[in-house]
Every structure is written in C-alpha cells, then in structure tokens.
C-alpha cells in the first residue's frame, strides 16, 4: 500500500498545515497547502526574529551550512529527479541546483573583498565601503526551472546573511516544498528559510506591502505582478529586485546587499 505524502508549509523551522486548512491541486492529483495571509505574517515574523543571529554568524559558518544543504540535496537526488519528471533534463537540473549551493557556499567569505572597497579621501581618515545583508527578503520563485530557479535565488540571498520568505511556484510547488525538507536537515536555524505555497494573487500583495520585509525578489512574477509589487513596495521604500540570472552570479548576491560606508581616523 502506498501512503500519499502530505505536503506542508515550512515556517520557523517546522512543517505546518495552512492556518486556513485550504489546499489546491496544481496537477489535479496532489493536495498542496494554500497559504493564507496569516501564514505569511507568521513566516515574516519568524524571519525577522532569526535575522540578527544569522547575520552575526561568521561567513565561514554560513558557507558550511550552505555546503551541508548541497550535500543533503545531492543525497536525495533520485527523489528530486522523480519530482521533476525524470530523464536527463531533470538530472541536469538537480546537478545544477547542487552545484549552485556549493558555488554560493564558497562566496560567503569573499564578499567583503569583492564587493567592498577602500575609498580615497582627502583627510586623515580611512573610508571603507562594506556589504551588509538587507534583512528579510521575500522571494517569488520562478516556475521554470522549478528547482534550480528556487535554489539560485535562495542561495544568493542566504549567502550574504539575509533571511528568506519564499513563495513556491504556484503551478509547480512540489520541488520547492520538498527542498524545504533539505533546508530543515541542513543546520539552518529556525526562521532563516521559510517556504510557502499558495496562490500568488493572494499572497504577493501582502508580501510586497509588509512593513517588516526589506526587499522582494520578483524573479517569478509576470510583468503586471512586477508593477503591482513595485507600487506596493513604494509605500515603505522596499527594494524590488529584478536582476535576472540564468546562472549563479556574484551580481545576484550584491543585489540582496546594502553598502555601508565607515569612516575611521588614521592611527587609532
């Protein structure tokens, strides 16, 4: 007898049913939880609570955790290949997702050297520009590729010390929800990664307008959704990230970062 899997939201390090008890069937057979505004608020609250400790971790430690996620994803490769439809294309996508996690794990301790700089100034001072995490990042994951696209956006944000509330692709949520199981067993502290499924028209406006979300990545949005997100984000000066990248890129990391300028007297 086959026991059908129950998919759940991933919020604050726990797998939970939607507060509303609703579900939908994107493929006509599997029940997927339909997250509500309450679920979204819970996820943002968990991310905000987790942010200070995650940002304060050493870059090496964040890299180790991302690398652990790559190990766990690789160990479950056969499962993800099946979720993606099987065959060589699915296998390549899983390999790409694993490689992406490893690649971003290696970037965690290189960001200050690459993105930062020492600025020339006329005076007895040092002037440094240093990258800092933006904070709570909302991510609207692209539907294609369902796994690699999600990993690419998540890893870039987490690499720099941000925390994430991600909306799984509405039409293909299963790889994203299963990816949450990988993060749950990869030493990520509770609240650093939160994954919700549901209808974008219901969740996206609240994610874009939430006062405790510092940036929103609209990689998976349509043009009309991007415009609506920009309008909602404008009310609280939220950054809207529209950087597109088909491959892992340091520019995607810096899109999720703020640049801080520090002055320091020479000789002290």
Q: What is the pLDDT of residue 131?
A: 83
Cis omega (within 30 of 0) on the bond before 155?
no
Quote the number of domains for the chain.
1
CB crowding 189-225: b at 16 or more within 10 Å, else e: eebbbbbbbbebeebbbbbbbbeebbbbbbbbbeeeb
pLDDT level of residue 234 (50, 70, 90 thresholds): confident
Instruction: Render 11-24 in DSSP notation, one character per residue.
Output: ETTEEE--TT--EE
In a domain, 2, yes or no: no
Q: What is the mean pLDDT of residues 190-194?
A: 97
In a domain, 163, yes or no: yes
pLDDT tens profile 9-26: 999 999 999 998 998 988
Using CB atoms within 10 A of its CB, is residue 151 exposed (0-12), middle (13-18) or buried (19+)? buried
Q: What is the CATH number of the domain that holds 176?
A: 3.40.605.10
In a domain, 21, yes or no: no
In a domain, 241, yes or no: yes
pLDDT tens profile 85-142: 999 999 999 999 999 999 999 999 988 888 777 778 888 888 778 788 999 999 999 9
pLDDT level of residue 268 (50, 70, 90 thresholds): low
pLDDT level of residue 65 (50, 70, 90 thresholds): very high
The encoded tokens of residue 1 equal: 């007898």
**pTM of the complete model:** 0.91
Range of the domain at 71: 9-16+33-265
Cα separation, 92 vs 132, in Å, equals 33
Nearest to 104 by CA among 218, 249, 259: 249
Q: Which residues pair with 26 in a beta bridge?
A: none
């Amino acid at each position: 007898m086959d026991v059908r899997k129950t998919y759940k939201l991933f919020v604050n390090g726990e797998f939970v049913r939607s507060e509303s008890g609703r579900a939908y069937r994107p493929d006509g057979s599997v029940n997927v939880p339909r997250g509500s505004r309450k679920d979204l608020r819970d996820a943002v609250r968990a991310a905000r609570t987790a942010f200070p400790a995650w940002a304060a971790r050493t870059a090496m430690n964040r890299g180790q955790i991302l690398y652990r996620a790559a190990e766990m994803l690789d160990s479950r490769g056969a499962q993800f290949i099946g979720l993606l439809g099987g065959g060589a294309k699915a296998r390549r996508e899983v390999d790409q997702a694993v490689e992406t996690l490893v690649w971003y794990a290696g970037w965690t301790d290189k960001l200050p050297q690459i993105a930062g700089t020492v600025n020339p100034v006329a005076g007895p001072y040092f002037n440094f520009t240093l990258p800092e995490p933006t904070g709570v990042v909302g991510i609207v994951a692209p539907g294609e590729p369902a796994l690699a696209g999600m990993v690419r956006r998540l890893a870039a944000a987490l690499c720099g010390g941000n925390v994430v509330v991600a909306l799984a692709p509405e039409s293909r949520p299963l790889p994203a929800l299963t990816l949450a199981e990988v993060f749950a067993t990869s030493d990520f502290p509770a609240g650093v990664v939160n994954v919700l499924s549901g209808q974008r028209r219901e969740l996206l406006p609240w994610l874009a307008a939430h006062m405790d979300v510092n940036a929103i990545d609209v990689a998976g949005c349509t043009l009309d959704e991007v415009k609506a997100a920009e309008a909602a984000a404008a009310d609280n000066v939220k950054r809207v990230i529209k950087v597109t990248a088909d491959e892992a890129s340091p520019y995607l990391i810096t899109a999720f970062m703020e640049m801080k300028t520090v002055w320091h007297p020479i000789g002290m």
